Amino acid sequence: MKSYLSKAFLLCQIDDRNSSGADVTAFESEKPVIFSIQEVEEATTGFSESRKIGEGGFGCVYLGVLGDKEVAIKKMKSSKSKEFFAELKVLCKIHHINVVELLGYASGNDHLYLVYEYIQNGSLSDHLHDPLLQGHQPLSWTARAQIALDAARGIEYIHDHTKTRYVHRDIKTSNILIDEGLRAKVADFGLAKLVERTGEEDFLATRLVGTPGYLPPESVRELHMTYKTDVFAFGVVLAELVTGKRALIRDKQDLNKMKSLISVVNEIFRNEYPENALEAMIDSNIRNSCPMEEVYKVSYSMNIP
């Protein structure tokens, strides 16, 4: 399977003169700040509904202010949340420009809270799917290419450049956050797991988790996950960046059924001349302005057997 980085670099030739090897170098691990319950409650005005900026399977996220700094505070649904301890364990050891930074945590009154840096511009999903309804302008091809490269670097970092290696297990557009400069950071490590070395490849024996549309068929069949699970999911993210479509789309042959976006891409590549069908799938927001040669390159990289 092709690597996530090679896929990202196929998107386009990005001016990379301002980047350096420092972004894949591990920092010295720092202990997160322990906040009091009073501090996180005051920061969010008592977890006011007006402060809520997101909600997922593990809890709600609120915009808070600690001192003069805006932060995102995740209030976990369970006081014994495995996801809380998973994120705390992983993010205490990970410091990278393309991974959302954990600032600290709080616990008490039967609640658990994680405090992150605040990423101002929402998720990649918000920017790709009905962006105008989300208050965003459609992303240009250049912005999409940079976002793909940023996300690839974040994923590569947790796989290859930390003292202990991790599989994220839930890479998707809603877990890639966009800052005010349209740069990307990988988020939500509640399902992340330590990777075990088994000789030929890294292997993770685990129950199947993740999001439909982003899971490789072999993981579903064999009920195990490896770092390739994240690579496959990143390929789906690339498909969304090119097409503007969601990971699961309506089956044109049976509108009551859903099918994966990647399976549609694979069907196109079964044709002798797939270019016309590929062009028809490109997001209409970029179809007339993106370099077609670059789009074809990344589209071919999305063709996952």
Nearest to 248 by CA among 234, 238, 263, 235: 263
Nearest to 11 by CA among 304, 218, 292: 292
Nearest to 115 by CA among 80, 71, 79, 175: 71
Q: Are 295 and 280 in contact (CB under 8 A)?
A: no
> Is 170 an annotated catalytic residue?
yes
Q: Are strands 176-178 and 184-186 parallel, antiparallel or unpaired?
A: antiparallel
Nearest to 104 by CA among 43, 150, 145, 48: 43
Q: Which of 15, 23, 110, 170 is catalytic?
A: 170
Give the whole-angstrom CA distance, residue 113 versus residue 77: 9
Q: Within 10 Å of residue 297's Cβ, how many Cβ atoms?
A: 15
Q: Read off the DSSP letter of residue 210.
A: S
Q: Are 224 and 205 in contact (CB under 8 A)?
A: yes
Phi and psi angles of residue 272, each rounded to the nearest 5 degrees, phi first: -65, -35
Q: Is 75 flagged in the annotation as binding? A: yes
Residue numbers belonging to the annotated binding site for ATP: 75
Q: Which residues are catalytic?
A: 170
Q: Which positions make up the binding site? A: 75
